[in-house]
Structure 1
Amino acid sequence: MNNIVLPGRAGHAGEAGATVHPPEVADLIVAYIEQLGVEYVFGVPGGAIEPLYNALARSARRGGPRHVLARHEAGAAFMADGYARETGKIGVCCATSGPGATNLLTGVACSYDNGVPMLAITGQPALPSFGKRALQESACTGVNTLGMFRHCTRYDTLVSHVDQVESKLVNALMRASKAPRGPSHLSMPVDILRSPIESMVPSYNLRSLLHRPALVDDALVRSLCEEIRQAGRTVILIGGGHSCGESIEAIIKLAEMTESCFVTSPDGKGLINTRHRLYRGVFGFAGHQTADQVLQDEPDLILAIGTTLGEWTSGAWSAAVLNQRLVHIDSSEDHLLRSPMARLHVRGRIRSVCERLIEMLSEAKLSNVSQIGLKNPDYMLHERDKFVSDASPIKPQRLMRELSRLCPSRTRFFADAGNSTAWAIHYLQPHDRRVARQHDYAARNDGGKRRKGDAGWLRVLMDFAPMGWAIGAAIGCARGNPKCPVVCITGDGSYLMNGQEISVAAAEQLTVVFVVLNDSALGMVKHGQRLAGAEPTAFELPTVDFRMQADSLGIPGHIIHSPEDMEALDMAAIFSRKGPTLLDVRIDGEEVPPMSLRMKTLGSAQ
C-alpha cells in the first residue's frame, strides 16, 4: 500500500510536514472521534490497545484528538463521563484487554445508569490467538468481558473483520447519543486495530446521523395544555441530566406562566437558581421539608419532567408524587414505565414539548391559575444554626455555606457518593450566579443559541453511585472546559479509593479544587449503622494528612479546621492558578447527614 499523509481534519488535506504513515483501522476510529469534535480520549495503554494509542499520538502531532493518561481505568471512564456532561459530546475512554477492560466496567456501568453518552473501546489479543490462553484474553474463550459489558451498555460488540469497523462504530455512536442515552462498547482485537486501510476518511456524516428530531405529539401536548388550564394549582418536579439541562429555560418559563411552584430531584438542583421565587427545594434524597410539603398539600396537577422516578428522585416512591394527579413528561420509555398510575404520559424531546406547550398556553386564558409564588421561603430555616455555626472542627453544613459563598460564579461542583452528596444536595446554595440570564427564555431562544452539556452547576449521581466518581468526573469536566472553575467535594473514603487521579489534574494543569471531607470514617456507613441500631463495624479509616500526599505530587494543599481557616484562604489565587489544589477539611464527624430517606428505603431506621 502506498503511504499517505494523515489529514489534519477528517476529509481535508494534511498540513505540510505531518508525519507520513500508512493508515490503519485505529486511525479511522480517531478520524470518526474527531468528526464528533471530541478532543480527548481518556484511558490507560496496554499491548492489546497499542495501535489506538499510536493513532492518537499521530493525531496529537497534527492538532487532532489526543490521549489523557488516567491512573486507573475506572478513573478514565469517570473522566469521560465528566467530559460528556460538560461539553455535550460523547465521552471516549479506552483500556487494554482483560483486567484493563474489567477495571473500566464500573465507570461504564455508572454512565449507563445515569444516561451519559460514552464510547468505550477495549482491546483483545489477535483473533488467531483466541482460545489458546493468550495473555489477558477476554473474548468468549477467555474471561468474557464482552458478556460483562452487555449488561451495562446500549450497544456491545466484538469487531471481528475490518469490513465491520465503520458500520459497528457508527452504530455504537448512534446508540450512545440517542434516547435512551448511555455507553456503547467496542471490543477490538489488536490485529484488527492495526490492519491497513486504503483511506482514513470517514464514509458517514455523523452530524446528520446523530441529529435528534423534535419528537412532539401535538395532540398529547394539547391535552396537557387543557389539563393545565383546568388546574387551579400546579407543581412542577424538575429532573436532571441532559434532557432537562437543554430545556431548563423553557421549563422555568412554563412555571412562571402558570405561577407553579417547582421542586427538583437531587440531580436537578444544579440546573436552577435556588433563589427563584417559585423554588421550593429538593424533593427526594437529602431533600427539603418545603419540597415535601408543597407536594403533600395535594396540588391539582403535578408535572414530573425528565425524572427517572427511581428511589432517590421520587421520595422512595412517595404517594405524594405517584398518584393520578401526575403527568409524566419524558423522552425515555424506561422512565415512563415507572409511572403507570399517571393521568397522562407525554413522550418526546422535553425541550420541544415545553416550547410547544408555551406556545399553546400563550394563546389560552389561564383564568384558574392561583397567584401563589410571591416569595422564596427559607427552606433551610430549621437548620440555620448549623449553617452559620463557628464551631471547630467545622460543621459540614457551614462548609457548604462557605463553598457557596467563596467559589466563583461559574463554578461546577461535583459531589461524590456518600455523605458528600447528601451535604451538597441539601446545603449548597451559590449566592450570585447564573441568575440574570440562566432562566431568561427569550434571550436563550433568540438566535437559536442552545446549551450543549447538561449545564448543571451541581452534578451528582443517581441510582448507580460508585465512590470516587466525582474525582475523575471533575477532571474530565475541567479538561473539556478549562476556563471554568471546578470543585470536587469528596470523602476521605472515596479519596483513598481514587485519589491518585488528582495527579492527572496536575499533569494536565487543570484548575480543580479537591475538597476532602476528612473524618477518618466511611461516614454514610457509620451514621447508617447508628440510625439503624446495627453493629458499629467496618467504617473506621486511618487518620491521613491528605495535604502531605498532595505535596508529594507537587500540588498545593491546605488543612481546614474551622470557618476562620476557610476565610483565610486566598480563593482568587487558588482559582487563578493552573493546576489543582487540595483542601483537607477536618469536619465534625458527629454531624448526621440528611439521609433519612435512604434509611426508610432500607427499612432499618430506628
Structure 2
Amino acid sequence: MSTSDLAFAGAPPAAGIGAPAAVAPPQVADLIVAYLERLGIEYVFGVPGGAIEPLYNALARSSRRGGPRPVLARHESGAAFMADGYARESGKIGVCCATSGPGATNLLTGIACAYDNGIPLLAITGQPALPSFGHKALQESACTGVNTLGMFRHCTRYDTLVSHAAQIERKLLNALMRAATAPHGPVHLSIPVDILRAPLADTVPSANLGALLQRAALLDETQVQALLAEIRQARRMVILVGGGHSCGEATDAILRLAEMTGSPFVTSPDGKGLVNVRHPLYHGVFGFAGHDCADALLRDDPDLILAIGTSLGEWTSGAWSPTLLNRRLVHIDASEDHLLRSPMARLHVRGNIRAVCERLAGLLAATAPAARSAPEKPASLLRDEAKFVSGATPIKPQRLMRELSRRFPPSTRFLADAGNSAAWAIHYLQPHDRRESPRHDAAACHPERRRRGDAGWLRVLMEFAPMGWAIGAAIGTARANPDCPVVCITGDGSYLMNGQEISVAAAEGLGVVFVVLNDSALGMVKHGQRLAGAEPIAFQLPAVDFRLQAEAMGIPGHIIRAPEDFDALDMAAIVARRGPTLLDVRIDGDEVPPIDLRMKALGTAP
C-alpha cells in the first residue's frame, strides 16, 4: 500500500490508540479545514500517511466539534471517485487527499476522470518536509523526486506547491475559485508536511467565499437575438440536451423551451438522467448506446438542431456524426472547450445555459412563434423489446434493467460503471419519474436532500471513463445524501478492481445497493473482439461468488439468476437498510450490448 507503516517513520509515538492528541496551537491544516467548513463541505475522502498527517489531525479536531471529518477509503483512486460522487450529488466541491509519492499517484486516475468530466474537486497531497527536498526522502514527490506536481498539471485546472505558510490562504482561494467556476474541474495543492503543521496566529477564513464563488449568469445578448431569429424561421427544430452541471441546473428551462416551440428533444448519454424518459417530446438518447429513433429524428431533415451543454466528444456526438455536426447545428454552452469542437455550426451561443434558455423563453413568450406539431413519439425506444421482458435464465441484461427500473423508488440515483454496465443502463434503464410517482419521494428524500446541480437520476462517464468509478462515486453520492436510495451498476471486472470500497459503505452505514453483472468476463472486451473478428484473448475472468465475498465483510448478499429471484427479495427492507447490499446477478453473457457506435469509432464495426 502507498500508506504503509514506513510512511510514518520519524513520527512521534501515539499516546494511545484512538486517544486525542494534546491541544496544539492552530496550524495551516486547521485553516484549510476552516475554509471547507465555511463552504459547508462535510467530508474529506482519502487515505492517511505521514506526509498528510497534520491534515488528519486538523480533521480530528474538526470532527469533535461537528465540522468536516474524514472518510477512510481503501485506495486513493476510490477516494477520488467518492469525492466525484459527493460533488455531483451535493453541488459542492468534492475534497480528497493522499500522502506523498504513491498516495498522490494513486489519486491521478480519479482526478483525470474529474478533469475530463468537468467535476469540481479539491485534491490535497502531502510532501516530505521542505528541507529534505533533494535528499531522497521517503516517497519524495517534489521536482527533485518523482514529480507528482508535474503529473497533476496535465489533469487539473490549478496545480501548485505551497512552499510557505503565508501562501496557503491565497493559493487555497485560487484553487477553490478555479474548481467552482466554469469550466469546472479538479484542482491540486501539494503541501509539504512542515508547512501543513506550521503555526498560524489566526485560522478564521478572511475571504468572502460567497461572493468569490458565486456563479455568474452571463449571456451574449447579440447571439441570443440571432438564435431567436433562427428559431422563429425554423420549420422543424430538434433539441439535444447534454449532461453536466450546466445542463442539470437548467433542465426545467430547456424543457420549457422545447414545450413552447413544440420541439422534440433527445439527450446525450450523460444527459439522459436529467429528464423524464416518459415526457411526450422525448425521443431517446443520441450517441453511445443510444436509440435508433433519436438518430432517425436528427436525420429527418430538421431546419435547426440546438445542442445544449454537450462536449461533442466521441460518445456524445455519435462518433462525430455528420447527422449532428453540420450547418444546421446551433451550439449553446458556457464552456469554450466544448464550443471549439463545433467549428462547422451555424451559430455559437456563449453563456450560462439557464440564463440563455430563460431569456429565449421570455422573448418567445412576448411574441409567440407559429405553432409546430411535434412528431409522434415512438411506442418503444428500445432494441430487443422481447428480451426486455424475457423470463429466460440466466437473466438477460435487458430484463435486469427492467427489474431495476421497476423495483427501486423514483428517487433512486443510478450510477453505471464504464463498459457494458453503462451501455445497458443508457439504453434500457427507464425508471418512474418522481413527478409521476410521488408515493415514495416525500418519505425517502427530505426536501433539502433532493438532487441539485447535475445530479441526475442516471450518472455515467463520457470522456475519461475508468472502470470502477461507479463503485466509489456511489459511496460519495450516498454520503452526500443518505436519505435517497443509491444503486451502483457495475461489472465483475470493475468490481474485482475496486470492489473493496464496499467496506467503506459498510463502515459509514450507507444504503448503497451494488448490482454486479457477473458473466466471468470483461464484457466489452469480449464482445468487441467478437464483433471485430479479433483474436478472443485476455477477457476471461474467474468464476467468483461475490455474495460470499460480501458476506465475509458482514454485508448481506444475494444471487440473482432469473427474473423471479427478485420476488424473493424484500426490496423495501433493502432500500431502507442503513448499510450496503450486494446483488450478484448471473447475466446471460452471450447478449451483445449496444456498443456499435464504439466499434465504429475504433474502425472495427462489422
1:144 paired to 2:151: no
1:479 paired to 2:482: no
Q: 1:277–1:373: 8 Å Cα contact kept in structure 2?
A: no
Higher mean C-alpha deviation, range 560-569 or range 473-482: 560-569
> Residues 421-453 of structure 1: CA distance to partner in whole angstroms, max 9, x if unpaired?
00000000003434479xxxxxxxxxxx99633
The 2-side partners of 1:451 and 1:35 are apart by 21
The 1-side partners of 2:485 and 2:324 are apart by 36
Aligned counterpart, 1:282: 285
1:178 paired to 2:215: no
**What is the identity, as a one-letter code, of the residue corresponding to 2:380?**
D
**Correspondence list, 1:113-152, <5 A:** 113-152=116-155
- Where 2:179 maps in the other structure, the secondary structure is helix
Task: Identify which of 243, 262, 273 aligns with 1:259.
Answer: 262
**Correspondence list, 1:240-319, <5 A:** 240-319=243-322
> Residues 360-416 of structure 1: CA distance to partner in whole angstroms, max 9, x if unpaired?
01012312x421245453111x41111000000000000000000000110000000
- Where 1:339 maps in the other structure, the secondary structure is coil
Aligned counterpart, 1:84: 87
Task: Identify which of 31, 36, 40 aligns with 1:33.
Answer: 36
Aligned counterpart, 1:15: none
Q: 1:278–1:376: 8 Å Cα contact kept in structure 2?
A: no
Aligned counterpart, 2:559: 559
**Correspondence list, 1:305-454, <5 A:** 305-367=308-370, 369-375=371-377, 377-380=379-382, 382-435=383-436, 452-454=452-454
The 1-side partners of 2:462 and 2:588 are apart by 26
Aligned counterpart, 1:488: 488
CA drift of 1:20 comes to 4.6
1:218 paired to 2:221: yes
The 2-side partners of 1:167 and 1:157 are apart by 11
- Where 1:408 maps in the other structure, the secondary structure is coil
Evaluate the alpha carbon distance shift between residue 180 and residue 432 of structure 1 in structure 2; reply closer, same or farther with a 3 A threshold. Answer: closer
The 1-side partners of 2:216 and 2:586 are apart by 50
Aligned counterpart, 1:592: 592
**What is the identity, as a one-letter code, of the residue corresponding to 2:551?**
D
**What is the identity, as a one-letter code, of the residue corresponding to 2:56?**
Y
Aligned counterpart, 1:441: none
The 2-side partners of 1:221 and 1:172 are apart by 32
Q: 2:283–2:377: 8 Å Cα contact kept in structure 1?
A: no
The 2-side partners of 1:432 and 1:218 are apart by 35
Task: Identify which of 90, 99, 110 aligns with 2:113.
Answer: 110
The 1-side partners of 2:280 and 2:494 are apart by 36
**What is the identity, as a one-letter code, of the residue corresponding to 1:83?**
Y
TM-score between the two structures when normalised by the length of structure 1 = 0.94
Q: 2:89–2:451: 8 Å Cα contact kept in structure 1?
A: no
The 1-side partners of 2:35 and 2:76 are apart by 22
Q: 1:234–1:260: 8 Å Cα contact kept in structure 2?
A: yes
CA drift of 1:567 comes to 2.1
Identity %: 77
**What is the identity, as a one-letter code, of the residue corresponding to 2:273?**
G
CA drift of 1:169 comes to 0.3
CA drift of 1:269 comes to 0.2
The 2-side partners of 1:258 and 1:509 are apart by 47
CA drift of 1:569 comes to 1.3
**What is the identity, as a one-letter code, of the residue corresponding to 1:257?**
M
The 1-side partners of 2:111 and 2:31 are apart by 23
Aligned counterpart, 2:441: none
**What is the identity, as a one-letter code, of the residue corresponding to 1:184?**
V
> Residues 512-562 of structure 1: CA distance to partner in whole angstroms, max 9, x if unpaired?
000000000000000000000000000000000000000000000000000
The 2-side partners of 1:571 and 1:432 are apart by 19
Aligned counterpart, 2:8: none
The 1-side partners of 2:474 and 2:394 are apart by 26
Q: 1:285–1:312: 8 Å Cα contact kept in structure 2?
A: yes
> Residues 97-142 of structure 1: CA distance to partner in whole angstroms, max 9, x if unpaired?
0000000000000000000000000000000000000000000000
**What is the identity, as a one-letter code, of the residue corresponding to 2:589?**
G
**What is the identity, as a one-letter code, of the residue corresponding to 1:546?**
F
Aligned counterpart, 2:536: 536
- Where 1:151 maps in the other structure, the secondary structure is helix
The 1-side partners of 2:95 and 2:244 are apart by 18
The 2-side partners of 1:395 and 1:466 are apart by 25
Task: Identify which of 214, 229, 234 aligns with 2:232.
Answer: 229
Aligned counterpart, 1:501: 501
The 2-side partners of 1:414 and 1:298 are apart by 34
**What is the identity, as a one-letter code, of the residue corresponding to 2:393?**
S
The runs of 5 or more residues in structure 2 that have no matched partner are: 1-20, 439-448
> Residues 339-361 of structure 1: CA distance to partner in whole angstroms, max 9, x if unpaired?
00111100000001001110001
The 2-side partners of 1:431 and 1:27 are apart by 45
The 1-side partners of 2:451 and 2:357 are apart by 16
**What is the identity, as a one-letter code, of the residue corresponding to 1:261?**
P
> Residues 258-311 of structure 1: CA distance to partner in whole angstroms, max 9, x if unpaired?
000100000000000001100000000000000000001120000000000000
Aligned counterpart, 1:10: none
Aligned counterpart, 1:7: none
**What is the identity, as a one-letter code, of the residue corresponding to 1:308?**
S
Aligned counterpart, 2:513: 513
The 2-side partners of 1:563 and 1:324 are apart by 47
- Where 2:155 maps in the other structure, the secondary structure is coil
The 1-side partners of 2:138 and 2:561 are apart by 50
**What is the identity, as a one-letter code, of the residue corresponding to 1:419?**
N
- Over the aligned positions, Cα root-mean-square deviation in angstroms equals 1.5
**What is the identity, as a one-letter code, of the residue corresponding to 1:372?**
A
Q: 2:293–2:378: 8 Å Cα contact kept in structure 1?
A: no
- Where 1:157 maps in the other structure, the secondary structure is strand
Aligned counterpart, 2:49: 46
Q: 1:422–1:595: 8 Å Cα contact kept in structure 2?
A: yes
**Correspondence list, 1:171-210, <5 A:** 171-210=174-213
Q: 2:410–2:437: 8 Å Cα contact kept in structure 1?
A: no
Q: 2:276–2:433: 8 Å Cα contact kept in structure 1?
A: no
Aligned counterpart, 1:445: none
**What is the identity, as a one-letter code, of the residue corresponding to 2:480?**
G
The 2-side partners of 1:375 and 1:74 are apart by 42
TM-score between the two structures when normalised by the length of structure 2 = 0.94
Q: 1:280–1:377: 8 Å Cα contact kept in structure 2?
A: no
The 1-side partners of 2:327 and 2:301 are apart by 11
**What is the identity, as a one-letter code, of the residue corresponding to 1:528?**
G
Runs of 4+ in 1 over 4 A off after TM superposition: 373-376
Q: 1:246–1:451: 8 Å Cα contact kept in structure 2?
A: no
The runs of 5 or more residues in structure 1 that have no matched partner are: 1-17, 438-448
